[in-house]
Structure 1
Amino acid sequence: MKLKNIAKASLALGILTTGIITTTAQPVKANSTISVISNGTKELSEYYKGPYFEYKNQSGYKEREGTVSFIQNMQQTDVTLTGSEKIQFNNDDEVSNVDVFVVRENTDRSGLTKSIGGITKTNTQNHKDYVKNVGLNVTKKIDNNASKMTSNPYNINKEEISLKELDFKLRKQLIDNHDLYKTEPKNSKIRVVMENGDYYTFELNKKLQEHRMGDVIDGTKIKEINVELN
């Protein structure tokens, strides 16, 4: 029996057994800022404060063109392929040995979770603590004449990592530790610098573009991560 049919049968059995697929509501944190911020910035804050899920060493099947479906804990997640993963996985009816980084996008009441990008190959080696440890350097503007810089280690846990996962986790950390989105982000940005001098930029005044969510980079070749908060 194909993986697609096995997965659907398992999902159907789970629904018949439990009667309903449940999801856990996430607590909403109170916004302590007294600054007036735009609706766009509020939406960014809510999105990046939201939950994410990480599934390791998964197998999935193509429900339709450009979408891979995974069944985890009797719940189906449909991932839209974008970026480099669209080229890598689009010709396969089934995918295996992959990790999936999931952020819910437009999930409806059916219990079906929809996500975009975030599929990477599972690590080929066992790593004791992390794949690589790099510097996370945050420069925060205090006023027109002064800035404050802090540097901390940041663990990269995947040999291959999607821009979606990097962007989401870094912004969540900046929200928790550096008050990102308490004020307007203006031209604030994250820059992921590679060992060969290439870099990837995330503009913090907008959500990561969907066509970049499936782009994958070599986590072992990241040199440092620099953040400018204005």
Structure 2
Amino acid sequence: MKKNITNKIVLSTALLLLGTTSTQPPKAPISFSSEAKAYNISENETNINELIKYYTQPNLSFSGKWLWQNPNGTIHATLQTWVWYTHIQVFGPESWGNINQLRDKYVDIFGTKDEDTIEGYWTYDETFTGGVTPAATSSDKPYKLFLKYKDKQQTMIGGLEFYQGNKPVITLKELDFRVRQTLIKNKKLYNGEFNKGQIRITGGGNHYTIDLSKKLKLTDTNRYVKNPRHAEIEVILEKSH
């Protein structure tokens, strides 16, 4: 009799533990960056301190994620099945055209948080703008990208590496962010008198100009730099006064 009671206690304890385990929400993804707070600014923001904060915040990069569209038309990607998702905001006809070619396909994503992570009972949701490209494959050879910088008077001339990877195309969002972050960290931009200028992207069939005095336009965030290994990136720095 005593043995039966003991067995029942053990069985009840096991069932209780099993039930407790099965109702616990999944842990945050291993690569989940919950500590990174969102820092978003207007595309017309010209305050230097705000631009520095925006372009030096942590970014998130993902490879081979599934892109899909909700019935209401919004674009999303699954970062980790059943747990981690992102809403991709898209602006402008060219950016939408690129996104429409990627629906229900695997993609690479370069993101900065537009909003803090929304934590549900089972899920985590991010909000990014643009930054989506076709998923790179093993047949895409790796390459490096360098920028050349100078001021109008050519008193300051140099070059810096800002990208290593194998993406077949790169969004203007990623290129703009990496170029500015590299210049800021090397004290070439938004440091002292050089707070304006342009990023000029030519070669490989590209003709883009980005204004350094403000944030990248939302309509440019998912436009592509084609043939990036053949692109030439030149930064012209200008004094504020």
The TM tier, using the shorter chain, reads 0.7 to 0.9
Matches within 5 A, 1:194-205: 194-196=203-205, 198-205=206-213
| TM-score where L is the length of structure 1 | 0.72
Query: Aligned to 1:62, which of 25, 47, 69?
Result: 69
Query: Aligned to 2:199, which of 190, 195, 208?
Result: 190
| TM-score where L is the length of structure 2 | 0.69
Matches within 5 A, 1:61-140: 61-63=68-70, 65-73=72-80, 74-83=83-92, 84-90=94-100, 94-107=103-116, 109-110=118-119, 111-130=124-143, 133-140=144-151
Counterpart position of 2:13: none
1:214 and 2:227 aligned: no
1:173 and 2:186 aligned: no
Inter-partner Cα distance in structure 2 for 1:135 and 1:115: 26
Is contact 1:162-1:217 (8 Å) kept? yes
Query: Aligned to 2:173, which of 137, 141, 164?
Result: 164
Q: CA deviation at 1:185?
A: 4.6
Inter-partner Cα distance in structure 1 for 2:52 and 2:28: 34
SS in 2 for 1:214: coil
Counterpart position of 2:48: 41
Identity %: 24
Inter-partner Cα distance in structure 2 for 1:182 and 1:15: 49
RMSD: 3.3
Q: Deviations over 1:70-108 (max 9, x none)?
A: 23243221101234241244488x521211111111335
Is contact 1:185-1:204 (8 Å) kept? no
Structure 2 counterpart of 1:96, one-letter code? K
Q: Deviations over 1:12-34 (max 9, x none)?
A: x998234999744259xxxxxxx
Inter-partner Cα distance in structure 1 for 2:28 and 2:51: 35
Inter-partner Cα distance in structure 2 for 1:112 and 1:134: 32
Is contact 1:136-1:226 (8 Å) kept? yes
Counterpart position of 1:30: none
Number of corresponding residues: 201
Unaligned residue ranges in structure 1 (runs of 5+): 1-12, 28-37
Unaligned residue ranges in structure 2 (runs of 5+): 1-21, 38-44
- Closer, same or farther: CA 183–150 of 1 in aligned 2, 3 Å: same
